[in-house]
Amino acid sequence: MIEIPFHKYQGTGNDFVMVDNRSQLIDRNDKQYARKLCDRKFGIGSDGLILIENHKGYDFEMIFFNPDGSQSMCGNGSRCAVVFAQALGIIENHTTFLSTDGVHTATINNNIVSLSMKDVPPEKTQAFPEHFIIDTGSPHYVVFTSNLNQKAVKEEGAFIRYSEEHKEKGINVNFVEKLGKHQIAVRTYERGVEDETLSCGTGVTACAIAHVLHGGISPVQISTQGGDLTVKFDLENGTARNVFLEGPAKKVFSGQINL
């Protein structure tokens, strides 16, 4: 049994267990840690586990796990990792760090984090008559809808996520309601969590790109169940470039747990 100091952070309601793993307290290859720590009944409870480690050439490396132990890029988790790294004294107001999908940069000002996201070329965007599939570091199914507040997100999201086409690799499912040229509302079912989350960073990024492809204009203000985010980018020949995800990230509490 080991005693693990942890910190809980949230970005627009997307919550994460953060561990300073620069001393290799946790084996990053053991997915059981994520399953145990993220469990809302028998662990701390969160939408993911984030380890902060040293990496030569970068300020830090962020290792992200979904509650089921799978790994992917996490936009809101990355924003929380930046605030956590600042609290640890690793960075000041700017950082270059390594994440699951490669290198990212970020700036932080009064807990508002502006995070660079990967370019999204046409080959990572599929347009269908009723929906989009866009990979922003994680794969996202984006469908426009009305009466978003009445949407049965968990049920309808799970139906798509576990459909014959997507059940093997899994996909995140986003329901989007247009509120204006620069504004949308989003609710997301996340794979790995297998439930609706209050916010999803890679999800709102995919939704913002779909919105612009559907006639909207960047920057896009996104309203989620957990708060507001902004996504801005340049659309050049079908490629979303200079993509930035902006929003708040805050510490909730700290503690220790024995595993």
The residues assigned a catalytic role are 74, 200
Q: How far is CA 244 from CA 114, 138, 151, 219, in A?
A: 6, 16, 28, 9
- Residue 64: both structure tokens together: 């992200």
Instruction: Report, in angstroms and rounded to the nearest whole number, the Rg of the chain calculated over CA atoms.
Output: 17
- Rounded (5°) CA angle 99-52-115: 45
Asked whether 44 and 257 are in contact (CB, 8 A), the reply is yes
> Which region holds residue 203: left if phi is over 0, alpha if psi is between -120 and 50, else beta?
alpha
